Every structure is written in structure tokens, then in C-alpha cells.
Copies of this chain bind each other. A is one copy, B any other.
Amino acid sequence: MTFRERCQRAWQTNQSLLCVGLDPEPGRLPHSLASRPLNEAVERFCTGIVNATAPYCCAFKPQIAHFAALGLESTLESICRHIKAAHPNHLLILDAKRGDIGSTASNYAKEAFERYCADAVTLSPYMGGDSLTPFLEFRDKGIFLLCRTSNPGGDDLQMLALEGGERLFERVARLATERWSGSEQVGLVVGATYPAEVQKVREIAPKLPLLVPGIGAQGGDLKAAVCAGVDANRQGLFINSSRAILYASPQDDWAQQAAEVARQTHHAIAVSLRT
């Protein structure tokens, strides 16, 4: 199954464009898990969130820094194995924002695709096309390139106007859809905080899957981002929410409350798609 087919299957079988981000923070874990060893608490928390929200989402996006800062790589391995085994029709996106060349890039690709069995990984485009090749050699896997990120500082480089008038993030989108995307393994990261740029990216890259962070805690406009970003099939998006779902409640009902926020977000996306 190609990466594009895997995306299609995730959208269609789950009837959802929602991606649930897994960013565990020790200080925000549910009270009932706080007394357990940290690795066990993080694993129970993340698998609990995964199982509770799976009916409402099409993808999971663990953010590797939240595990690496705690030395919990083996916990992340377990969580990824669980996602692949229990939810095979969901996409597993490793949010790592890697970017390097040669044997180093090959090793990052092994880390993402073999060690954590991810279907896709986020990458920075700054080092250019040859930094992507070692990832694309995993022919059934995908990459999401940072294009227009959700943070204000993204302006510093991404909004710079090039000679001829194109802005840097537009060039990245164009390279991704023309020069770098022969095997349909490339997607783009575009923040929901900038719906006008989401729309611009969708115009430049009509068929590329877009990973859209920035709704929920970051304040992005869900409806505007969905309307700007859907493709011709009313799909093409992975709308990510992390903290609003993960930390819906610190009480014993944390999994149910996370599921409820995921259900509401799924519903809000569906409503946006109909307008």
C-alpha cells in the first residue's frame, strides 16, 4: 500500500480528518497515574488517549521531544507498536522535524520508520531536496515538510518575498508538489493559525496531504482552516489537536473527557466541511 493509499484509507475508514497529538508532560498527567513510575504512567496515559479517541480521529502524532527529554524512547516504541496493532487504519505520524543528509538522514529515517514504525515523519525543508531522499527510499512511507508553521516567528523566514514575488513558504509548497514529490510520498505542514496561507498552499499543491497544527490551545480558526485546506474530495487534511484533547480533565474521567473533546472536534470539522 502506498503512502497516499494509506492516507485515503485513514480518512475513509474513519470518516474523520482529526489527528490526535501525543505530547505527554509529566506535570499534567492524570492524578490517578501520578504515583506510578513515569514510564508506566506515560504509556498508560498515551495508550488510554489513543484507545479513547480512535473512534473520532484518523491519525495519531506522537511528538518525540516529549519522550526524549525524559529518556522514554522505549515507552514511545511501545506506544507506537500499540497504535499499529490496535488501530491499523489510523495513520501514525512521528513528529520529529528532522533534517540532515547522507548517512545521518538514513539513520533518522530508520529511527522513524523502523524503530517507531511510523507511516510518516515531519521534516524541515531547509537543507533541500537531497536531505529528503533517504526518507523517500522507504517507498511506502511519507514525509510532511514544514511549510508555513503555526507560530508567529514563522514569519522570520517563511514569509520572506523572493525575487519575482513568491514567498519562501510558497516556494517550498511548489518544490514539494513539483520537484520533490514524484512518488506521492510528500505532504506539507501548514498552521491553522494562518488560513490564508493554508488556502495558498492548497492552490499550489492541490493533491498533497496537509498536516494542520494550531487549532485548540494555539487558537487557530478550525472552520477557516478546514475550508481553506480541503482538497477536491473534501479530504486531504490531518487537523491536529494535542493539548485540548490530552488534558481535557486531570480527574478519573480523563479518558472519557478526552474522547468527548475529540468527538466535539470531529463534529466541528464535519460541520465545517458541509458549509
Contacts and interface: CB of A to CB of B under 8 A. Distances in A.
A171 interface: yes
A136 B93 CA distance: 28
Interface stretch (A52-60, A81-89, A107-115, A248-256): A107-115
Given A153-B127, A157-B126, A161-B162, A108 B69 contact: yes
Contacts of A102: 151
A177 interface: no
Contacts of A165: 163
Interface in A72-130: 73-74, 95, 97-108, 110-111, 114-115, 124-130
Nearest to A25: B103
Contact of A111 (B68, B95, B153): B68
Contacts of A97: 98-100, 124
B63 A104 contact: yes
State the main secondary structure of chain A at its contact with B: helix
Contact of A104 (B65, B99, B100, B110): B65
Interface residues of A, number: 55
A171 B162 contact: no
A104 B162 contact: no
A263 interface: no
B126 A153 contact: no
Number of copies: 2
A238 B166 CA distance: 35
A103 B153 contact: no
A107 B130 CA distance: 28
Contact of A160 (B71, B156, B171): B171
A252 to B, nearest CB: 25
Contact of A69 (B71, B111, B127, B156): B111
A146 B104 CA distance: 15
A49 interface: no
B151 A110 contact: no
A99 B168 CA distance: 17
A65 B111 contact: yes
A182 interface: no
Residue from A126, A128, A151 with most neighbouring chain B CB atoms (10 Å): A126
Given A124-B97, A125-B126, A161-B163, A153 B168 contact: no
